[in-house]
Amino acid sequence: MDWVESGGGPLLAAPASQLARWEGATDGEDDEAPVEAWGDYGRACAVEGYIGLVGIGGGQGLVLGDEPATTTYLPDERLFLRWAAADSEAELLQAARSAVRGVEWEEELSWDVDGAVVLFDSAWPGATPEPGNHLNIDLAPGRYRVRAAYTRDDRTWMILVHLQPAP
């Protein structure tokens, strides 16, 4: 599996068609300045909770917030899997595939996409996402119901973000 890591902030699934419009963190970022002053990265950081939306050009990006968890995408399940704790990747994948069928979703929103998206660290500019640390994700254009939840058992802890085509 390919995983995307964060340097400390949220990850972003941005429409490939609007990627060049994401500027990431501003140069000379001041930790004392309000988060809104940090450019596009600041807008992503301002999202509270597990998921949120930010405008990017004529589209919307999906922010994966809460904690900077290493994340992958499982296309068969249309699931972003965010690794909080597990002894192995295989153990985490198995737990996620089981959990998605019975988890109590905590947050929900609607997300309109025009096709493929790219998952990357929101601090990076979209025109040049960090080499080796981004995922290209094929999505059919349309509206998606996005649900998120934190789940854990004795050995695995994870955040699940599930995409479901909206009727």
34 pLDDT tier (thresholds 50, 70, 90): low
Measured between alpha carbons, how far is 159 from 14 in angstroms, rounded to an integer?
Answer: 19
Report DSSP state, residue 126.
Answer: T
Please report the pLDDT score of residue 39 as a whole number: 85
pLDDT recorded at residue 162: 97
Ramachandran angles phi, psi of 142, nearest 5°: 145, -170
Strands 11-15 and 117-121, how do they pair?
Answer: antiparallel
Q: How far apart are CA 9 and CA 152, in angstroms?
A: 22
Q: Is the pLDDT of residue 31 over 60?
A: no
The token pair at 69 is 């968890």
Q: For residue 164, give both structure tokens.
A: 């479901």
Residue 167's pLDDT is 82
pLDDT of residue 35: 54
* pLDDT value, residue 36: 56
- Cα separation, 7 vs 148, in Å, equals 22
Q: The pTM is what?
A: 0.91
